[in-house]
Amino acid sequence: MAGSDNLSDPSSPFIPGLDFETYLEWMRAVHPGVAARVSRQKYEIARAHGVYADGVGDIAFEDHAVGGRGEAYRTTQLANPLIRSRGIETLYQMAIAGQSVGADALLLDALGGNGTVARAISALHAGSDTPLVITADISAAMIKSAITLGLPTIRQSAAYPLFVDESMDAVIFAYGTHHIPVFQRELAMVAARHALKPGGRIVVQDFEIGTPTASWYHEVLDSYTETTHPYIHFTRDGMVNLLDRAGFVDIELHDVYDPCIARADSPGAAKIRVLSYLVDLFALKLPRGNDLDLASWADAEEVVAPYARFVDGPACLEAEEFGVGPVEGGYQAEYPRVALVATGVRPL
């Protein structure tokens, strides 16, 4: 753990190997502003609701030993921190839009895994004053990884967050909103509204049912992963109504271009970087090619390429299919995806 060697109580319900009080001690030392906003009372409420009980959480993001693909996800994200940066930057700009925010502001990444959004924003805005991004997730393995990286982070359920009310300037739900059980989604949005300061913004990102990007999850992950994909994505009306019922105002709906982009010295190498990212990130049971031979990736490309093909897609699209082209200093491969995003404001 960055900043501390004190891992205690392997049976801790908070994070195995790290009990709640030890976690708070570490946070006070390295991110005191975040620690000051964590509520012990809300932690006890979450425990009472079984949030930290054994077996709770999404098996997909736990480790291979228990049937998940968490190691593959963490390793691939750490190796490719900016491959999805185009979409992440758009979400970030939506979160801070119209607000005067600087280094003292707090942005909660409510489904943050091991900190991909936090690391991308830090890299994209190096040297400038940006809000502190707090990585939250219910997966103990993800949060232990984020702690090791020294990120401000917390293990919490989206439906039972641990921060005091009116403590966040913005909240983002991204790259996994469909993993929140349908019966908990409104509860999660209401909890986010309470966590936001008056006038604070919420950004909810997922993929619209029936689009190529949503179909990727339902068809490819169902067929080519051990964990399958038993989750319900969103309709346009459903996403807007969710924020409306949770008490947000000024709700807007957006189509957001969210591609996977990689650069390399040759067209083949650029394309391999995207293909290997997709195969590795989701632990797809597909033939993994040689990283120096594009032809060896033909089977994987045949499976994944159709889900990056858009006909009469939304205006935000900048590419209509998976391809590669020259850019300054080399070549760029681009795998187009389109996300559905709703934004809203906590009333003053």
Report pLDDT for 7.
41
Report pLDDT for 4.
38
Please tell me the total number of residues recorded for the chain in this structure: 348
Residue 3 has pLDDT above 60, yes or no: no
CA distance 104 to 173: 21
Residue 20 has pLDDT above 50, yes or no: yes
Q: Please write the tens of the pLDDT for every residue from 41-88.
A: 999 999 999 999 876 666 666 666 666 677 888 899 999 989 999 999
Residue 287 has pLDDT above 80, yes or no: yes
Tokens of 258: 């969210």
End-to-end CA distance of the chain: 39
Report pLDDT for 181.
93
Which regions of the chain carry the CATH code 3.40.50.150?
21-258+340-345
Residue 1 has pLDDT above 60, yes or no: no
CA distance 84 to 92: 13
Report pLDDT for 71.
85
Contact residues for 78 (Cβ-Cβ < 8 A; gap 6+): 114
Give all strands of the β-sheet with 338-345 in edge-to-edge order: 153-155, 132-137, 106-109, 168-173, 196-206, 338-345, 249-257
At the fourth CATH level, the homologous superfamily of domain 21-258+340-345 is: Vaccinia Virus protein VP39 (3.40.50.150)
Q: Which residues in 113-179 belong to E strands, given as ranges? A: 132-137, 153-155, 168-173
DSSP 194: H
DSSP 297: G
Residue 315 has pLDDT above 60, yes or no: yes
Return the SS3 of 3: coil
Report pLDDT for 59.
65
For the segment 274-286, the average pLDDT, to the nearest whole number, is: 95
Report pLDDT for 68.
67
Tokens 């040759």 belong to residue = 266
Report pLDDT for 101.
73
Tokens of 332: 């760029």
Q: Which of 259, 257, 255 is nearest to 278 (CA)?
A: 259
Q: Please write the tens of the pLDDT for every residue from 150-169.
A: 999 999 999 999 999 999 99
CA distance 146 to 55: 21
Return the SS3 of 71: helix
CA distance 49 to 52: 8
Report pLDDT for 338.
98
Q: Which of 212, 193, 215, 211 is nearest to 202 (CA)?
A: 193
Q: Give the pLDDT band (50/70/90) at residue 206.
A: very high
Question: Element (H or E) spanning 106, and its range?
Answer: strand 106-109
Burial class (CB in 10 A: 0-12, 13-18, 19+), 219: middle
